[in-house]
Chains A and B, each alone.
Chain A
Amino acid sequence: MKRFIIGAASALVLGVSAAGAQDYPSKEIQGIIQWGAGGSTDTVMRSVTPHAEEVLKGTVVMQNMTGGVGAIALNHVATQAADGYTLLMGAENPLLYKVMGLGDKDYSDFIPVNILARGTPILVANPAAPFDDYAGMIAYIKEHPGELRVGATGPGGLPSVVTAMINTVEGKMDVISVPYDGDGPALTALQGGAIDVMPAVLGAAIEGIRAGKMKPLAVFDVKANDKLPEVKPVTDFNAGYNTYLPWGPFFGVFVAKGTPDDVVAKLSAAYAEGAKAPDFVELMDNRGFSMLSISGAEAEAFLAKWQQGTTWLLQDAGLTKASPEEFGIARPSK
């Protein structure tokens, strides 16, 4: 009997190591979240994953691995075995690591399982600011150079990209850029009057706008957002933005390159199904995110286009450490 158990156990061990995707997942899957607990990426991943688990019939243990603007988590997943048992749950910024000199790896070392959703940037101001819309802000900056305080979240963050767009479309703006740890602390500072204007993701600002704690200046999109239909898109003020928009941060689940195709397919199917769950859709809608839920070639194309557009925008604004050209990122054709 004892020998039988040992035999069965070793057979099981051998079976696991030899088995392919037909019985994937046969153990716990690790989900590495690039950002801290309580942030947008964390919230999104922790809401969608339980639904994907049901489809997978497996367990995904999620943990936050912060530091190095997400590079620590990305490098960690990249060095794990490409067997589909370690997922990277991240946001858009790794696509900027190379040009920003933050790391030598990005999503080209990964396979997208699912790009879940895209956010829309919005420009918000302290209610006491002496202007009420985007045009008013631009006029104010021109009349009072070097006075307006605009929040930022470091090079490569959403505010830096939006600011680069403004500088490219409107010409160089003379403002004070005040860096914060993230859009949460910056929006807090906005409400306290430490900064005047903040480019943020719509979902982070929407409750503050509803309560009248901050006022919207323009949505950075080609059309108004369903959540805030009365706020004009920035293209209404200056058609020059059509070149760069729609643009927005996104969330996605990735596995290291080299993961067997059938495992990727299983994961993609699970996350695609999970992303359809009504409470997840509602959560994303409440926060003003547009659902994408794309995978495969479509996701690869999305990533490539995003990276081309954003890195060259930052390059032209003089914000990069290295040219996108060095990494074979082609300039987008207009």
Chain B
Amino acid sequence: MDAILAFLTVFTQPELLLLVGLGTFAGVYIGAIPGLSVTMAVSILISFTFSWDVYPAISLMIGIYMGGVYGGSRTAILLNIPGAPSAIATALDGYPMAQRGEAGTAIGVTTVMSFIGGFIGIAVLAVAAPFVSEFALKFQPRDYMLLAVLGILLVGSLSSGSLVKGIFAGALGIAIGAVGRDPLTFTERFTFDLQIMQGGISFIAVMIGMFGVSEALMQLHHVEKDAVRQKITRIVPSLATVRKHLPLSLQTSTIGVIIGALPGTGGDIAALMAYDHAKRVTKKPEVPFGKGAMEGLVAPETANNAAVGGAFIPMMTLGIPGDAVTAIMIGALFIHGLNPGPMLMIDKPDMFWFIVGALVMANFFMLFFGLTGIKLFTKIVEMPRSVLIPLIMLLSIVGAYAVNNSISDVYWMLGFGFFGYFMRHYGYPLGPVILGVILSRLLDDNWRRAIISEREDLGRFFYGIVTSPLSLVLFIAVILIFVSQTPLWRRGKEKLFGTQVEEARQ
């Protein structure tokens, strides 16, 4: 009974309702602007809401979080510039749709699917939080390493065209991620004794440059061409469309919740893995992937919003952050006199149910703000390119500077922007570069932790893999996915079944 009352707190107090709404609205726009991140907004809010009560402060933060994760998709679809790392996969099929004049439909599907994903994430948080957090704790360094390897195999999905070029791009990303002081031993790597290299290269700067600046430069080729007129007659997807994608969205939401709940991995990796999963299970998409397939939007958007609920699972049950934003929220709870940890659920169950309630509310607000104002938003893409291109450049510079208030990030961003332009020009895909940067640390740190834990003995390392059910499942998944991408697999399949096996993966 108390739980229900706590859950309903946010619905019954107009002030809290307003704050969640305000937060979600602000979040959608903060998320949409590359460089303005939810993490940054929430950490600024800690100081801003210092003297408030804990409920209003958390309400505002949750609104921003939910809205921001969704907002990243806006610019990804309209401009091919992901507003946040978790929207990288969204751009792959969202932007081609906008180019066909279907931006309205794309945004509509994205919004509804984000809502569904968000809802599943919250439901798992409410019902199975202790169970999922126990599972997440089981992940050992070697499991994180295998997960990262699994992630790197996504290069195949993200490279349209030449796989070799995709692998090159992924390797480049991993190398970029390794620059700076190694976090485990503090040894300098690829720093050339330069001061600015010591802190490493900001991954957000790479992302903004590669997607923002290089896109603006590409657009320069078509300055004269008229912008695509957008049809915005039907924004809310039909029930039939939603029902058709429901099985996929359930699967990708599950990926989102689990990846979100793992400490150290968040919505960005979840969205990319979900995209790959969609490509794998969708036998006959109406439109091929990378050309504007609806499934290519459904998967990452359900997954990254499901990851929000997922990230709260270890935070609420163990006091362990599921991602960067929940790490800051744990700090906020401390400042407001609470002690986040395993006892929080027992000492203060109200707090748990209040957060669940606020998340549900934020999810509804996200749906509302997502489906309104689309007409205005699509006008952005209809702007003349001579206005749009300088605007993108300006936003990229401001965004890159805002990440760390550091001018060197702006130089990195511009450098990677020009580099990205030439990569595109010569047919190198950019997605794998970002994938490599995201996974670099996860792979490197955990591989070293895993092998150090076994006294640098490979035999013991593999013994560990085959004796742990979790590691074994991940290991088999890695092997299967790897083999299924080789010609050997296809030939073997033809021999076995005697039929021409359709090649779903390009």
Give chain A's interface residues, CB within 8 Å of chain B: 36-39, 42-43, 46-47, 49-50, 62-69, 71-72, 75, 100, 102, 146, 149, 154-156, 176-181, 184-185, 188-189, 191-195, 206-208, 210-211, 213, 279, 282-283, 286-287
Choice from B42, B138, B181, B452 contacting A178 with Cβ under 8 Å: B452
Does B328 count as interface, using CB distance less than 8 angstroms?
A: yes
Known contacts A176-B453, A210-B341, A211-B341: does B264 contact A185 (CB below 8 Å)?
Answer: yes
Within 8 A of A (CB), among B326-346: 327-331, 334-335, 337, 339-344, 346
Q: Which of A46, A155, A181, A213 contacts B47 (CB 8 A)?
A: A46
Q: Mark B31-57, 1 if CB is under 8 A from A, else 0.
A: 000000001001100110011000000
Q: Encode B303-336 as 1/0 by CB contact (under 8 A) with A.
A: 0000000000010001111001001111100110
Q: Which 6 A-B pairs have the closest CB atoms?
A: A207-B341, A67-B199, A211-B342, A38-B327, A37-B43, A179-B184
Is B386 part of the contact surface with A, judged by Cβ < 8 Å?
no
- CA A119 to CA B278, docked complex, whole Å: 49
A282 to B39 alpha-carbon distance, docked (Å)? 27
> In whole angstroms, what is the CA distance A65 to B294 when docked?
40
Residue B139 is within 8 A (CB to CB) of chain A in the complex: yes
Q: Are B186 and A102 in contact (CB under 8 A)?
A: yes
The answer to whether B449 and A213 touch across the interface, beta carbons within 8 angstroms, is no
B314 to chain A, nearest CB (A): 8
A59 to B5, CA, bound (A): 39
The residues of B that contact A102 with a CB separation of less than 8 Å are 181, 186
Q: What separation, in Å, do the CA atoms of A283 and B331 have in the docked complex?
A: 11
Given A178-B449, A211-B343: 5 more A-B contacts, CB < 8 Å: A37-B328, A42-B43, A66-B199, A181-B183, A184-B320
| Contacts A67-B198, A207-B342 given; does A39 touch B331 at CB 8 Å | yes
Complex: chain A residue closest to B136, CB-CB: A192
The reply to whether B141 and A68 form a contact with Cβ atoms under 8 Å apart is no
Contact A192–B186 (Cβ < 8 Å): no
Among B185, B314, B320, B331, which residue has the most Cβ atoms of chain A within 10 A?
B331
CA distance A39 to B321 in the complex (A): 11
**Is A68 in contact with B199, judged by CB distance below 8 angstroms?**
yes
B21 within 8 A of A: no
Inter-chain CA distance A146–B324, complex, in Å, is: 35
CA–CA, A318 to B453, complex, Å? 22
A-B contact pairs, 20 of them (CB 8 A): A36-B327, A37-B46, A46-B50, A65-B405, A67-B181, A67-B198, A67-B199, A154-B183, A155-B185, A156-B186, A176-B452, A176-B455, A178-B141, A180-B184, A191-B318, A194-B140, A207-B319, A208-B319, A211-B346, A279-B337
A283 touches B334 (CB 8 A): yes
Given contacts A46-B50, A184-B321, A189-B141, contact A149 B343 (CB under 8 A): no
B186 touches A154 (CB 8 A): yes
List, in ascending order, chain B residues with CB within 8 A of A192's CB.
Answer: 137-140
Q: How far is the CB of B120 from chain A (nearest CB, A)?
A: 25
**Minimum Cβ distance to chain A for residue B36 (Å):** 14
| Residues of B contacting A146 in the complex (Cβ-Cβ under 8 angstroms) | 455
In the bound complex, residues from chain B placing their C-beta under 8 Å from that of A207 are 319, 339-344
Query: Across the interface, do B337 and A37 meet the contact criterion of CB distance under 8 Å?
Result: no
Which B residues touch A71, using CB under 8 A?
198
**A181 with B46: CB separation less than 8 A:** no
Contact A37 B339 (CB under 8 A): no
| Interchain CA distance A179-B445 in the complex, whole Å | 9
Q: Does B195 make an interface contact (CB < 8 A)?
A: yes
Pick the residue among B181, B195, B328, B448 that contacts A75 (CB under 8 A).
B195
Chain A residue at minimum C-beta to C-beta distance from B452: A178
B181 engages A43 (CB within 8 Å): no
Complex interface: chain A residues within 8 A of B328 (CB): 37-38
Residue among A50, A191, A208 making CB contact with B51, cutoff 8 Å = A50
Chain A residue contacts of B46, Cβ below 8 A: 37, 46
Q: Is the CB of B137 within 8 A of A154?
A: no
Q: Is the CB of B330 within 8 A of A38?
A: yes
Whether the Cβ atoms of B337 and A283 lie closer than 8 Å is yes
The residue on B at minimum CB distance from A33 is B43
Query: Max chain B CB contacts within 10 Å: which of A49, A179, A194?
Result: A194
Contact of B415 with A by CB under 8 A: no
**Contact (A50, B50) CB under 8 Å given A189-B141, A194-B453, A283-B337:** yes
Alpha-carbon distance A42/B50, docked complex (angstroms): 13
- Does B251 count as interface, using CB distance less than 8 angstroms? no
The distance in angstroms between the C-alpha atoms of A286 and B141, with both chains bound, is: 31
Is the CB–CB distance between A43 and B334 below 8 Å?
yes
Q: Is the CB of A208 within 8 A of B341?
A: yes
Q: Are A100 and B186 neighbours in the complex by a CB distance under 8 Å? A: yes
Could you mark each residue 261-273 of chain B with 1 if its beta carbon is under 8 Å from any beta carbon of chain A, else 0? 0011000000000
Establish whether residues B200 and A37, one from each chain, have CB atoms under 8 Å apart when the complex forms.
no
Using Cβ atoms and an 8 Å threshold, which residues of chain A touch B230?
Answer: none
Query: In the complex, what residues of B have CB within 8 A of residue A47's CB?
Result: 50, 334-335
Query: In the complex, which residues 342-394 of chain B have their Cβ closer than 8 Å to any Cβ of chain A?
Result: 342-344, 346
For A287, give its contact among B330, B334, B452, B453 (CB under 8 Å). Answer: B334
Interface status of B160 (Cβ within 8 A of chain A): no
Note all chain B residues with C-beta closer than 8 A to A38. 43, 321, 324, 327-331
Complex: chain A residue closest to B183, CB-CB:
A181
User: Hey, which chain B residues are within 8 Å of A36, CB to CB?
Assistant: 327
Q: Is the CB of A67 within 8 A of B180?
A: yes
Q: Hey, which chain B residues are within 8 Å of A283, CB to CB?
A: 334-335, 337
Q: Mark B169-207, 1 if CB is under 8 A from A, else 0.
A: 000000000001101111000000001001110000000
Min CB distance, A47 to chain B, in Å? 5
B404 part of interface (Cβ distance < 8 Å): yes
Name the B residues within 8 Å of A191 (CB-CB).
137, 318
CB of B34 to closest CB in A, whole Å: 19
Q: Does A37 lie within 8 Å of B181, measured CB to CB?
A: no
Query: Which residues of B lie under 8 Å from residue A210 when comparing CB positions?
Result: 341-343
* Alpha-carbon separation in the docked complex, A47 to B404 (Å): 21
Which A residues lie within 8 Å of B138 (CB)?
Answer: 192
A206 to B170, CA, bound (A): 42
A206 to B343, CA, bound (A): 10
A65 to B180, CA, bound (A): 15
Cβ distance B438 to chain A, nearest Cβ, rounded Å: 16
**Residues in B whose Cβ lies below 8 Å from that of A46:** 46-47, 50, 331, 335
Within 8 Å by CB of B445, from A67, A156, A177, A181, lies A181
**CA–CA, A37 and B129, complex, Å:** 25
Q: Is the CB of B186 within 8 A of A155?
A: yes
B199 adjacent to A188 (CB under 8 Å): no
Closest chain B CB from A57 CB (angstroms) = 16
- Asked whether A69 lies within 8 Å of B342 as measured between CB atoms, the reply is no
Query: How far, in whole Å, are A196 and B249 apart by their CA atoms in the complex?
Result: 39
CA of A72 to CA of B181 in the docked complex: distance in angstroms?
A: 11
Q: Is the Cβ of B320 less than 8 Å from the Cβ of A37?
A: no
Query: Smallest distance from the beta carbon of A21 to chain B beta carbons, Å?
Result: 25
- Cα A185 to Cα B264 with chains together (Å): 8
Per the bound structure, the CA–CA distance linking A287 and B324 in Å amounts to 21
* B137 proximity list for chain A (CB < 8 A): 188, 191-192
Q: A68 → chain B, closest Cβ, in Å?
A: 5
Select from chain B the residue with minimum beta-carbon distance to A177: B452
CA distance A160 to B406 in the complex (A): 31
**CA separation between A149 and B464, bound complex, in Å?**
15
